[in-house]
Amino acid sequence: MSWIYFLDLFGTLIFAISGVLTAIDKKFDLVGSLVIGFVTAVGGGTIRDILIGRFPVGWLNDRNYIYAILIGLIMSYLFSKQIVKLRKSMFIFDTVGIGVFTILGIQTALSLGLRIEITLIMGVISAVFGGVIRDVLTNEIPLIFRKEIYASACLLGGIVYLILDRFLVYGDFNVLFSMAVVILIRYFSVKHGWSLRVNVS
């Protein structure tokens, strides 16, 4: 098993916790929390796989993703107060998650020989659409429609990965550097309040 696989599972766990915490805040019951945690964790990857015709979708082939989601559910209920206190840390973990899922989504699409622009779109979908489903189901405006730089960070990181993948042969470096681009853009945009919002008079 590669380190990327473990990062993928870690990202799944973190996204599941993010979804469950949102459900807890909305006073959902246990089943509702599990559903929200599940769609947050694997929703983006599922949509990607359906769009590119990759069946069965990824998590159906590996029960470890189910375990990661269940662990996220249990942790969220047992340690909810402690996790809430670590919101800033959770933001960092969530940011790492979108970096991981962006590159994994692109790699999955590339493995099927899809066009470059399609692989980039699939990377962004993998990273952000679990959160979109979560927000829609919990009656929130999806984060990608707000002023924060979110999907844009995934897009830029994905472009960097595709450029490096075309001109360099250092696979692990390409992955790590591109993930770092996503993470750093997202982190500094939140820290400094950067946005792509256009003021219309």
Positive or negative, the Cα torsion across 160, 191, 5, 56? negative
Residue 181 pLDDT > 90: yes
CB contact at 8 A, 18 and 38 = no
Task: Write down the pLDDT at residue 92.
Answer: 79
pTM: 0.91
Mean pLDDT, to the nearest integer, of 159-167?
93
- Tell me 140's DSSP state: -
Confidence check: pLDDT of 85 > 80: no
Reported as a pLDDT band with limits 50, 70 and 90, residue 177 is very high
User: Please, which residues have CB within 8 angstroms of residue 109's CB and are 6 or more apart in sequence?
Assistant: 48, 52, 118, 119, 122, 123
Task: Quote the tokens at residue 89.
Answer: 């840390």
Note the pLDDT of residue 159. Answer: 97
Instruction: Tell me the C-alpha distance between 1 and 10, whole Å.
Output: 14
> Is 201 a residue whose pLDDT tops 60?
no
Q: How far apart are CA 53 and CA 28, in angstroms?
A: 33
When mean pLDDT is compared over 8-12, 138-142, 156-160, the highest value belongs to: 156-160
Element (H, E) at 112: none
Mean pLDDT, rounded, for 162-188: 91
Each residue's pLDDT tens digit, 103-140: 999 999 999 999 999 999 999 999 999 999 999 999 99
